[in-house]
Amino acid sequence: MSPPKSLFDKVWDAHRVRELPDGQTQLFIGLHLIHEVTSPQAFAMLGEMGLPVRFPKRTFATVDHIIPTDSQLRPLSDPLAEEMIQALEQSCREHDVALFDPASGLQGIVHVIGPELGLTQPGTTIACGDSHTSTHGAFGAIAFGIGTSQVRDVLTTQCLALARPQVRRIDVTGKLGQGVYAKDVILTIIRRLGVKGGVGYAYEYGGAVIEHMTLEERLTLCNMSIEGGARVGYVNPDAATFDYLRDREFSPGGEAFDRAVEWWRSMSSDPQAGFDDRVDLEGGEIEPTVTWGINPGQNCGVTEALPSPQQSREEERASIAEALAFMEFKPGAPIAGTPIDVAFIGSCTNGRISDLREASRVAKTGKVKPSVRTFVVPGSQAVARQAEEEGLDQVFREAGFDWREPGCSMCLAMNPDKLVGREISASSSNRNFKGRQGSPRGRTLLMSPAMVAAAAIHGRVVDVREIL
């Protein structure tokens, strides 16, 4: 009998092309997702080398980062955005790569459409020129965020040269309280292990809390692995995974689906698999969580107070002081009650239908504070259609929220959706870095979509558990 292996080991071994002289592994990439921002230079390099796309049928493109969310009518009003989209369209035509553009009805954020089209499958390797590619690990895929040179590598060889990371198993035990979401779980994990705690690791998430999560919740969880430093994060596939994949556009059909399930199941971590490190968290202790600083690890429960540099560990003092100064927050002040100017619901972290449903429950409880600008941005056209079918767009509109077209939007503010000046946003996205949301001095508080909706209505950070 072969020794017990983790899913990570099995996927790595199944995709190994060869060991490289420098000690890294040449790994085959089963699915390559591309978008308009990190691919044009890679296609240019391909042209310079005179090489084709090696596996065009395993390469899929969409437009998400730069696309406006007010009107997606072509030509786009932003000439630079139009140029980038045209460049992608031309590259896809030249190389016979499928492109999910707005006209296709299948467009959306790359990490939202991969799963919803059934492209993201257990046991596979996935790469995309975006750090949040870890998202796809929710299905038991090993998914790597890569830079543009590596996009070129995958286009030309369908491979990456990678050093094998270690694997850390993170068990979240118990049960989450009402009003506590996957977003709160991952923010708590990052706070506990630190924003660089995962460097050199792949994270395997498990335990009762994770096993009870829907696939959409697991996507939120795996999405932010990279914010904890882990390039890869995954959950073992189970019955919920297989149910999700049934009848998706790119899922196997008929008897092939049953054969697929058998293989997918075989790729799960063996019960006795060993890990390089293990961490346990009690899910029942997790509160609705809000960031107060300039990286996602700088967060606290909504009933907690901000830290004070003097009372913190010496190695953290400088960064806490820098964060509080940038945010203009007082040490020891409660995070609840912090006034906000903007509310953003969306992104590859929290732009799925279940996120909109949860936020809409809160939206039904009041009207958006007139001083708050809002953006509700569905993660994809399919999410938007589903939401509209359920009347969620109407719920949001009636509460005073601005209902938008799909895209990355204010998560990284490459399109016109931006903070202005010193505005503070309550945001369901993934990064609270200085300047992240488009204003160099703009400030971001990360939280779950339900918490964002509550903040929009009250004009300040509130505990969503008091509303639901």
Partner 1 sequence: MAEKRVERIAGRGCVLRGSDIDTDRIIPARYLRCVSFEGLGEHAFEDDRTQAKGNHPLDDDRFAGASILIAGENFGCGSSREHAPQSLMRFGFDAFIGASFAEIFAGNCTALGLPCVTLEPEDLSLLMDTVELDPGQEVAIDLEARTITSRAGTMAAGIRDGTRQQLLDGTWNAVSVLLEAGDAIERAAERLPYLGDFSR
> Which residues, numbered 42-101, are part of the site for partner 1 (CB under 8 A)?
44, 49, 54-55, 58, 65-66, 80-81, 83-84, 87
State the nearest-atom distance from the C-beta of 80 to partner 1, in Å. 5
Nearest to partner 1 of 109, 210 (CB atom): 109
What's the closest the beta carbon of residue 25 comes to partner 1, in angstroms? 9
* Structure tokens that stand for 17 in this block: 């092309």
Type of residue found at 401: F
**Residue 463: what are its φ and ψ, rounded to 5°?**
-85, 110
Q: Does 215 bind partner 1 (CB under 8 A)?
A: no
Cis amide bond preceding 75, omega within 30: yes
For residue 286, give Cα distances in angstroms to 151, 165, 221: 38, 28, 14
Identify any residues that bridge with 171 across adjacent strands, giving them in sequence order. Answer: 206, 280
Considering the complex, what minimum distance in angstroms separates the CB of residue 395 from partner 1?
Answer: 31
Identity at 396, one-letter amino acid code: F
**CA distances (Å), origin 386, targets 98, 213, 390, 391, 408:** 23, 21, 6, 9, 18
Give 253 or 284: the residue with its C-beta nearer to partner 1.
Answer: 253
List the interface residues with partner 1, window 232-261 (CB under 8 A).
250-253, 256-257, 259-260
Residues 145-204 that bind partner 1 (CB under 8 A): 145-150, 152-153, 156-161, 163, 195-196, 199-200
Which positions from 98 to 137 touch partner 1 by CB under 8 A, shown as an x/- string? -----------------------x-xx----xxx-x----
Subset of residues 274 to 303 that bind partner 1, contact rule: CB under 8 A:
294-295
Buried b / exposed e over 379-414, threshold 16 CB at 10 Å, is bbbbbbebbeeeebbebbeebbbbbbbbbbbbbbbb
Give, in order, the Cα–Cα distances in Å from 344 to each of 279, 319, 429, 430: 32, 26, 8, 11
Residue with smaller CB distance to partner 1, 197 or 406: 197
CB of 467 to partner 1, least distance (A): 32
The site for partner 1, by CB under 8 A, has a size of 84
Cα distance between residue 36 and residue 34, in whole Å: 7
Which is it for strands 443-446 and 424-427: parallel, antiparallel or unpaired?
parallel
Measured from the CB atom, is 81 or 454 closer to partner 1? 81
Binding piece for partner 1, criterion CB under 8 A, among 14-22, 107-115, 171-179, 450-458: 14-22
Tell which positions 293-352 bind partner 1, by CB under 8 A: 294-295, 318-319, 322
Residue closer to partner 1 by CB (options 176, 202) is 202
26 binds partner 1 (CB under 8 A): yes
CA nearest neighbour of 233 among 134, 348, 140: 134
450 binds partner 1 (CB under 8 A): no
Shorter beta-carbon distance to partner 1: residue 41 or 365: 41
